């Protein structure tokens, strides 16, 4: 009794596993957001320093571009501070800049980190990507290695603090145009530190004595406070208006229809979310013979030709990692046997034969006639006739004797 029990358990396990494979997408099918270029700052692009409550300066700070405040009205310390652009004190430009800053901040916050869990960036050499940590600090030098088109986004849930004399170094043609810091609370730049990039702080930004910035200091709800600083606004930057926040694909459709029949047209569609639109490929296994996958629509169509169990993986990709993949199983059954019964002819004319080789049971089922009683009756009559012949022969012999 052991072998039948083992086989039953094996069969049951196979059914459970097969059902799980057919219905559950692979674990890699989750979404991520990426950026196709620099973050679009909109009207905030022209500002070197933009406060929300106040903009305050001490000492001979120099800002090469616009300065402003909104919705607050207080701007102090200019002069002795100097600016090379326009002062926008709660005017329409400052209002729009704050609106666009909020949009840019949210875009930066929505991106999926390339690397997470960071704290002190000192000593690192970072390729383009999205980097995140609960808090971020810089106690020494960090190098950003890339090209003029490379983009870095740094996310911190709370504060950004750089130490005195810390530095951000650009190599390989990397540009301050494309470095962005999304700060969940406030940022503080240490004395004589050399900072690169645009800070978008939810609250306040403080640049302590002699800190230099290649970029922008933009505060959403708090103050920007300066002290003898030099802020050089990025130049020759692309405006970011063509930038698209891309989203990696996630398979959203149920598993394709799990059963098919040889000779019967089949259709089922795999769909996925994501920006841009995903394309579809079979990356392992094979579709049932006779079926094809449309790479644009995800439709699996065709007429199966060969029975069997087929397991295959469909991967959706749109250029933003990770790709989404799901494993499916489709069972193709043989085609049903169709039988044409014999057609009786007119008297003296042969009828039309039925389908050659058709099973008798199928033929009888097709005609709707149950022949078993007729066969039994014929057999009984035949046996009765044989007995009569035997009895007659024996009677003749006795008479002749």
Proportion of the chain above pLDDT 90, given as a percent: 67
Residues 357-393 pLDDT 10s:
444 333 334 444 455 554 455 556 666 665 666 566 6
Residue 56 maps to a domain: yes
Residue 237 maps to a domain: no
Contact assessment for residue 264 and residue 42, using Cβ atoms and an 8 Å cutoff = no
228 alpha carbon, distance to own chain's centre: 48
Residues 77 and 210 occupy one common structural domain: yes
Residue 113 has pLDDT above 50, yes or no: yes
Residues 171 and 315 occupy one common structural domain: no
Residues 30-77 pLDDT 10s:
457 777 789 999 999 999 999 999 999 999 999 999 999 999 999 999
- The DSSP 8-state label assigned to residue 343 in this structure reads B
Residue 121 maps to a domain: yes
Residue 391 maps to a domain: yes
Residue 215 has pLDDT above 80, yes or no: yes
- The DSSP 8-state label assigned to residue 232 in this structure reads E
Contact assessment for residue 157 and residue 136, using Cβ atoms and an 8 Å cutoff = no
pLDDT of residue 393: 64
Residues 191 and 286 occupy one common structural domain: no
pTM above 0.95, yes or no: no
pLDDT of residue 276: 81
19 pLDDT band, cuts 50/70/90, is very low
Lowest mean pLDDT: which of 100-109, 219-228, 254-263, 343-352? 343-352
Residue 19 maps to a domain: no
State which of 204, 232, 260 marks the end of a domain: 232
Residues 262 and 208 occupy one common structural domain: no
Residues 201 and 289 occupy one common structural domain: no
What average pLDDT does the segment 4-33 reach? 42
Residues 157 and 294 occupy one common structural domain: no
State which of 315, 333, 351 marks the end of a domain: 333
Instruction: Determine the Cα–Cα distance for residues 125 and 139; give it in Å rounded to an integer.
Output: 14
Residue 297 maps to a domain: yes
CATH code assigned at 325: 2.60.40.10
Residue 18 maps to a domain: no
Instruction: Determine the Cα–Cα distance for residues 46 and 23; give it in Å rounded to an integer.
Output: 52
Lowest mean pLDDT: which of 168-172, 227-231, 352-356, 380-384? 352-356
Residues 326 and 196 occupy one common structural domain: no
Residues 258-305 pLDDT 10s:
999 999 999 999 999 887 889 999 999 999 999 999 999 999 999 999
pLDDT of residue 225: 98
Residues 213 and 81 occupy one common structural domain: yes
Residues 287 and 375 occupy one common structural domain: no
Domain that holds residue 116: 34-232
Residues 384 and 319 occupy one common structural domain: no
pLDDT of residue 35: 75
If you write DSSP's letter for every residue of 56-71 in order, what string do you get? EEESS-EESSEEEESS
pLDDT of residue 37: 80
Number of domains the chain contains: 3
pLDDT of residue 373: 54
What average pLDDT does the segment 154-171 reach? 98
Residue 17 has pLDDT above 50, yes or no: no
Residue 348 maps to a domain: no
Residues 313-324 pLDDT 10s:
999 998 877 899
What average pLDDT does the segment 179-203 reach? 98
Residues 381 and 300 occupy one common structural domain: no
pLDDT of residue 275: 76
What average pLDDT does the segment 127-156 reach? 96
State which of 308, 333, 358 marks the end of a domain: 333
3-state secondary structure of 132: strand
Residues 273 and 227 occupy one common structural domain: no
Residue 154 has pLDDT above 90, yes or no: yes
């Amino acid at each position: 009794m052991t072998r039948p029990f083992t086989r039953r358990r094996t069969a049951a396990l196979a059914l459970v596993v097969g059902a799980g494979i057919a219905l559950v997408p692979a674990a890699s099918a989750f979404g991520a957001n990426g950026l196709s270029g620099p973050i679009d700052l909109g009207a905030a692009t022209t500002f070197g320093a933009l406060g929300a409550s106040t903009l305050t300066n001490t000492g001979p700070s120099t800002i090469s571009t616009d300065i402003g405040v909104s919705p607050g009205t207080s701007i102090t310390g200019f002069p002795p501070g100097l600016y090379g652009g326009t002062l926008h004190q709660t005017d329409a430009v400052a209002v729009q800049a704050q609106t666009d800053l909020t949009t840019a901040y949210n875009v930066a916050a929505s991106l999926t980190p390339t690397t997470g869990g960071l704290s002190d960036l000192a000593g690192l050499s970072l390729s383009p990507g999205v980097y995140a940590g609960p808090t971020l600090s810089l106690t020494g030098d960090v190098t950003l290695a890339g090209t003029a088109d490379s983009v870095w986004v740094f996310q911190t849930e709370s504060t950004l603090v750089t130490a005195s004399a810390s530095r951000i170094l650009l190599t390989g043609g990397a540009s301050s145009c494309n470095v962005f810091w999304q700060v969940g609370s406030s940022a503080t730049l240490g004395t004589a530190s050399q900072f690169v990039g645009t800070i978008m702080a939810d609250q306040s930004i403080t640049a302590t004595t002699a800190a230099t910035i290649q970029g922008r200091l933009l505060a959403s709800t708090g103050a920007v406070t300066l002290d003898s600083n030099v802020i050089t606004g990025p130049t020759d930057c692309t405006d970011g208006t063509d930038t698209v926040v891309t989203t990696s694909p996630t398979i959203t459709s149920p598993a394709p229809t799990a059963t098919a029949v040889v000779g019967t047209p089949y259709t089922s569609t795999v769909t996925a979310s994501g920006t841009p639109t995903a394309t579809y490929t079979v990356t392992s296994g094979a579709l049932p013979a006779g079926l094809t996958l449309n790479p644009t629509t995800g439709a699996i169509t065709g007429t199966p030709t060969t029975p069997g169990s087929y397991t295959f993986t469909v991967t959706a990709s749109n250029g933003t990692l990770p790709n989404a993949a799901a494993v499916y199983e489709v069972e193709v059954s043989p085609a049903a046997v169709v039988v044409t019964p014999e057609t009786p002819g007119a008297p003296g004319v042969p009828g039309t034969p039925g389908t050659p080789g058709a099973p008798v049971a199928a033929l009888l089922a097709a005609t709707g006639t149950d022949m078993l009683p007729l066969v039994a009756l014929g057999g009984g009559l035949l046996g009765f006739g044989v007995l009569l012949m035997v009895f007659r022969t024996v009677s003749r012999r006795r008479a002749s004797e």
